[in-house]
Structure 1
Amino acid sequence: MPTDTTSVVAAPGSRALEHPARGDIRLADVLHALADPVRMRIVRVLAAAEGELNCVDVELPVSKSTCTHHFRVLRECGVIQQNYRGTAKMNGLRRADLDALFPGLIDGVLRAAELETGRLGDA
């Protein structure tokens, strides 16, 4: 059930996941989420995608349970949107919300990550 601080998104007949409302997304939480290399990789993949991706479409060097944790952290911080489509959990970057709240942040972080990868390689 939605509250003032969360929004619940679900297709009819599917399971709902809680997401923070746009106004409840905090910069410190977003930056904390993006500080982890695995979560940053997820954000980079979602940013490059033309639409939503299934969790299994994002290749990560960690166990399935750890992947679930990282996706949950990103969702709870307001960085990504997750919706069930049948049994698949689909993921998308909340670009419009993040750009409205923190103009230029996502573009800057993605560009910095790209430069770091060029400098250090993909760790």
Structure 2
Amino acid sequence: MEQESCRNIRREKNPWQDDGSSIAVFYEFVSKNVSMPSDLGELIAYVLLLVITWYTLLFALRFLLSLVKPVLVVLVALFLFRFVRSFELEDLIDFVFTILGLVLNLVGSIVAKFMEFILRIFN
């Protein structure tokens, strides 16, 4: 007896029946209240889509980098420790001075090119 009364209550509580008109009501609402897109509106929509996609890709790449970066740091540290251990002190000093010489030559050439550019502007 109790089960039958529960079934009747459930039937009475659910008076909404989907007759398939919800899509038609939504379409009617949109067509009456939302203006049709213009060329400028489409351009704005595409720009917004591009910006959202760009930021999503950047976020995903930064997230992946944050996962990979600690592993890379450990690998570089292991490589450097093994590299330093394999050389003697004199070889390491020569290696460091060679690297510093190359870096200073590069910086000097960049400054020279920049000064040439500045001189061309003033002439």
Relative contact order (alpha carbons < 8 A, sep ≥ 6): 1 or 2 greater?
Answer: 1
What TM-score, normalized by structure 1, do the two folds share? 0.17
More strand by percentage: 1
Task: Give the TM-score of the pair, scaled to structure 2.
Answer: 0.17
For the pair shown, the structure with the greater C-alpha radius of gyration is 2
